[in-house]
Amino acid sequence: MNLKRILKKNLILLVLGILLMPVINVNAADAVNIGNTSATIKGINYRIDEQEKIIYLSSNAIVELTGNAEDYRVATEENAKNVSVTLNNYQASINRGWNINTIELKNGSSVRLTLVGTNKLSAGPEASAIRVPKNTSLVIDGIGTLYAEVDNGGSGACSAVIGSQYHNPFGDITINGGNIYTSHTMGFKAGIGAGDGRGYDVNIEEMSGTITLNGGNIHTELLGSVTNKDKVSLQGNGNAVLYTDELDINSNGFNGIVFEGNKGTVKGNATLTQDMNLSSDTELTIEEGASLTIPENVTVTNNGKIVNKGTINNTGTFQNNNGSIDNTDGNITSTTDIENVDGNDIKIILYSITVNVGAGGTVNPNKHFEVEHGQTQMFDILPNKGYKIKSVIVNGEDKTNEVIDGKLTLENITKDMTINVEFEKIPEVQQATLINKDNVESPKTSDNILFYFGLGLASIIGISLLGIYYKEF
């Protein structure tokens, strides 16, 4: 018996130990202070050199930085892959020497930077707020904001704010979201890509690098490379808006919106993901063959001028009271009318509704017709005598259960629709049941008496058997 108790006790302890293992490991990711600063870091696969004031990140590091880290900088290890860094209302300012970067990607490393809240990274002369040299890759996403700035002091040469040292090749830089602002003071222009290393012996023929803008609003003094712009390329899927003073990059493969100063251009097929406000001195041109899509929940306020040589598709809100649109060589489709448009008329967006009805009932309306964007449409679905609704399919989706009292309501229509309605015959036995359900005779009094007598007898027998059971056991 004692042996059984010992085994049982140890088994319980073993189970508890297994259950508590995940809880114990949680402490490895708890937030800790960065030196004597008010900033904290939490995550895995990192180490802090408090003497050099460097946070080192190794492969598969996952960290979140919050608060003011003062002059602590971040650097990946050589060949650190799959590094994930979240900046959550974080700031760091490095100005204790030349060419000391706030965040530095070492050779062969790859980093994903996620923006939360408002963040600020500052660096000093010939340094980068984020150094992205050749053979590295940086991805920036999130919905937060990043202010990246460099004070170049008295140096003539400069590195990119986000990118390479001087006019050396830079790595792959991808921005998928967020609001990015870069600023550079003193020296030559610098922004995202390569810097300007005039006075340094650098082989500019080796220049290379790719910048991909897939989303977000990017504000930068310069994008690309002033020394050899044909060697670097700009790509994008159409959801980014770039504001820059100087575009020094091959942008033939770019889909999106680029503003150089107060002149904007829609290249390829662009879709706005955030509201846009065009000031009175701004002009936006949709190139021939290009398109600008304004989806629902996005507002364009035009106080300047829009020249449309391509296509504008608007299902959002277009406020054009104080601006103008030259639509002489373009086409505009919209869910609503737009004021102050010269040239071709606006085509109001209509959606096609097709109703297919099987035998055994009717649907009203039952025809091919069109409705305006956002309209609500009701259908009466009525089976013939002896039939019932079998199925109602709308664009491949079963809506049978949404038919209430013979009515189907489709709200906020924003696309073409095909409605297929099928009826089926009610089986004759079921029909007879439905017909006679109001004529079913009530049970006779004698039937009720027999039913309750049988129920009472069964109860007495059950109670007697239960008493015998307890006496025996």
Q: Where are the domains of the chain?
A: 29-261, 350-433
Whole-angstrom CA distances from 129 to 12, 93, 94, 148, 395 are 55, 9, 9, 6, 51
CB atoms under 10 Å from CB of 60, counted, come to 12
pLDDT tens readout for residues 265-289: 999 999 998 899 999 999 999 999 9
Q: Exposed, middle or buried: residue 332 (CB in 10 Å: 0-12, 13-18, 19+)?
A: buried
In 384-472, DSSP assigns E strands to: 387-394, 397-398, 407-410, 417-425
pLDDT tens readout for residues 224-256: 998 888 889 999 998 999 999 999 999 888 999
CB–CB of 138/105 below 8 Å?
Answer: yes
Cis status, amide bond into 365, omega within 30 of 0 = yes
What is the phi/psi pair of residue 9, to 5°?
-65, -45
Which DSSP category does 440 fall into?
A: P
- SS3 call for 52: coil
Q: Give the pLDDT confidence score for residue 468 in this predicted structure.
A: 53
CB–CB of 71/92 below 8 Å?
Answer: yes
Residues making up the chain, counted from first to last: 473
Residues β-bridged to residue 104: 75, 131
For the chain, how many helices (H) and strands (E)?
3, 40
Cα–Cα distance for residue pair 254/257, rounded to 1 Å: 9
Q: Give the pLDDT confidence score for residue 157 in this predicted structure.
A: 84
Q: Which two tokens stand for residue 49?
A: 């050199």
CB–CB of 201/170 below 8 Å?
Answer: no
Nearest of 216, 318, 218 to residue 259 by alpha carbon: 218
Q: What is the pTM of this model?
A: 0.74
Low pLDDT (below 70) residues in the chain: 1-29, 198-205, 429-473
pLDDT tens readout for residues 1-19: 444 444 344 444 333 333 3
H-only helix segments in 306-355: none
Q: Which two tokens stand for residue 140?
A: 């920036």
Q: Give the pLDDT confidence score for residue 429 in this predicted structure.
A: 65
